[in-house]
């Protein structure tokens, strides 16, 4: 919190600043005296006085860099704002520091500056909130580079709020669309699916006949049975845990998939695991049925029918890349699931009665 007890200069600096800023021309000696007074008394000025001083001096052509930077670094945001917004000679290092540390009040000041270096725009793309990014999108003189677009595409909060604006300016690349599928506004999800279908076709063309076998192995079938068993028991947490193990997705992502508004994402995940339409219907009704209308269920099943298995796997792969930065966890987790048949049987013998496939698979994890 700024120290509101300061003000021991008794308003001297503010009075001098008003006199100095009220004239258009100053002699060398007059300027020197004022600047010396400002350097000595600025720290002792009250918050109210510093805010007024900053607004008067921020764009003044005779202000030296060191005084402008002191104003821009003031602990009071309303003092720092005018200097960050209007001072023409602030260093790039200072602007980068403020773009990273924030808050968004000061990031807005930076976003409104007449000219911005690419590095400063990049820092804003990394750290600023949606209201600041919107300022950048609305500026005709700011062009987001591919690097900037990638940064924004990786931020779920920005995509969820500004996805349509970003897409309208071609600022969401295909990988960003697919990786942020769970956070996209509804109109953009079809674009993400189209991108996934195209990527899947390219992969199939590059490696024909290489994509079908992995969905029918024994481990995958046991996992499907276990998922259906947990869905029938309406055990959402355990279902999400199995989903995480089967797809290699982080647990928070799988927890997200069970939210009422994430039916499309859950459909994609179940398609990637090879569940049948009947099994998907069972999962949807048992886990989301309380708030799932018949019309919505039909829409999700239509998505299931039209989405190719390859595109579903591409989408899930992008979710893994987005959340973990690599795809290393998926194969390891699947191997863990299928390498313990002996443990599977012994655990099944001591468990409570359930459908046999679901019981065995659940205990094998």
List pLDDT tens digits, range 180-214.
899 888 888 988 999 999 999 998 888 766 554 44
Same domain, 256 and 140: no
88 in any annotated domain: yes
Ranges 161-175, 258-272, 275-289, 326-340: which has the least confidence: 326-340
Q: What is the pLDDT of residue 216?
A: 59
292 in any annotated domain: yes
Q: 345: pLDDT confidence band, cut at 50, 70 and 90?
A: very low
139 in any annotated domain: yes
Same domain, 165 and 19: yes
CA distances from 305 to 140, 188, 260, 319 (A): 42, 19, 20, 21
Q: 67 or 346: whose pLDDT is higher?
A: 67
193 in any annotated domain: no
DSSP annotation of 62: T
Q: 66: pLDDT confidence band, cut at 50, 70 and 90?
A: confident
Same domain, 16 and 154: yes
How many structural domains comprise the chain? 2
Q: What is the pLDDT of residue 62?
A: 80
2 in any annotated domain: no
Please answer whether residues 251 and 244 qualify as being in contact, where contact means their C-beta atoms are separated by less than 8 angstroms: yes
What global pTM score does this model have?
A: 0.69
Same domain, 165 and 284: no
Same domain, 146 and 18: yes
202 in any annotated domain: no
Give, rounded to a whole angstrom, the gap between the first and last alpha carbons of the chain.
51
Same domain, 148 and 23: yes
Mean pLDDT of 149-173: 85
Same domain, 21 and 168: yes
Distance (Å, rounded) from C-alpha 363 to C-alpha 121? 51
Quick check: 334 pLDDT over 70? no
Q: 360 or 267: whose pLDDT is higher?
A: 267
Instruction: Determine how many CB atoms are found less than 10 A away from the CB of residue 294.
Output: 7
Q: What is the pLDDT of residue 360?
A: 38
> At which of 157, 173, 189 does a domain end?
173
Please answer whether residues 125 and 97 qualify as being in contact, where contact means their C-beta atoms are separated by less than 8 angstroms: no
Write the DSSP assignment of 247-285 as a string of letters. Answer: HT--HHHHHHHTSGGGHHHHHHHHHHTT--HHHHHHHHH
Same domain, 253 and 344: yes
DSSP annotation of 352: P
Same domain, 149 and 232: no
Q: What is the pLDDT of residue 323?
A: 56
Instruction: List all residues 6 or more positions away from 146 whose beta carbon is below 8 Å from its beta carbon.
Output: 173
Domain of residue 342: give its range: 213-364
Q: Mean pLDDT over all residues of the chain?
A: 82
Distance (Å, rounded) from C-alpha 55 to C-alpha 151? 33
Mean pLDDT of 121-150: 93
Residue-wise pLDDT for 129-141, tens only, equals: 999 999 999 999 9
| Residue among 299, 181, 286 at smallest CA distance from 233 | 286
Q: 229: pLDDT confidence band, cut at 50, 70 and 90?
A: very high
Same domain, 68 and 157: yes
Q: What is the pLDDT of residue 1?
A: 47
| Cis geometry, peptide bond prior to residue 103 (ω within 30 degrees of 0) | yes
């Amino acid at each position: 919190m700024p120290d509101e007890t300061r003000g021991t200069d008794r308003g001297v600096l503010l009075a001098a600043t008003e006199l100095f800023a009220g004239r258009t021309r100053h002699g060398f000696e007059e300027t020197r005296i004022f600047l010396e007074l400002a350097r000595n008394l600025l720290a002792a000025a009250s918050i109210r006085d510093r805010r007024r001083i900053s607004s008067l001096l921020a764009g003044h052509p005779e202000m030296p860099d060191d005084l402008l930077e002191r104003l821009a670094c003031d602990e009071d945001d309303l003092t720092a704002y005018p200097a960050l917004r209007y001072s023409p000679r602030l260093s790039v290092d200072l602007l980068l520091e403020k773009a990273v540390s924030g808050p968004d009040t000061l990031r807005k000041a930076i976003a409104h500056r007449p000219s911005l270096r690419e590095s400063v725009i990049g820092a804003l793309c990394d750290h600023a909130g949606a209201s600041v990014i919107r300022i950048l999108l609305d500026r005709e003189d700011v062009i987001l580079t591919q690097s900037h677009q990638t940064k924004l595409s990786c931020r779920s909060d920005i995509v969820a709020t500004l996805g349509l604006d970003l897409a309208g300016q071609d600022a969401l690349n295909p990988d960003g669309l697919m990786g942020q599928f769970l956070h996209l506004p509804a109109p953009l999800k079809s674009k993400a699916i189209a991108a996934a279908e195209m990527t899947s076709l390219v992969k199939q063309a590059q490696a024909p006949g290489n994509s079908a076998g992995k969905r029918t192995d024994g481990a995958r079938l046991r996992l499907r049975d276990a998922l259906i068993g947990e869905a029938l028991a309406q055990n959402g947490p355990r279902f999400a845990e199995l989903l995480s193990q089967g797809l290699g997705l982080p647990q928070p992502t799988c927890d997200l998939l069970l939210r009422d508004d994430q039916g499309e994402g859950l459909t994609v995940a179940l398609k990637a695991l090879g569940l049948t339409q009947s099994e998907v219907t069972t999962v949807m009704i048992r886990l989301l049925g309380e708030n799932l209308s018949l019309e919505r269920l039909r829409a999700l099943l239509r998505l299931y029918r039209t989405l190719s298995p390859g595109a579903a796997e591409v989408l899930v792969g992008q979710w893994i890349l987005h959340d973990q930065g690599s795809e290393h966890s998926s194969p390891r987790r699947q191997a863990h699931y299928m390498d313990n048949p002996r443990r599977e049987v012994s655990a099944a013998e001591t468990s409570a009665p359930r459908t046999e496939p679901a019981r065995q698979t659940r205990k094998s994890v």
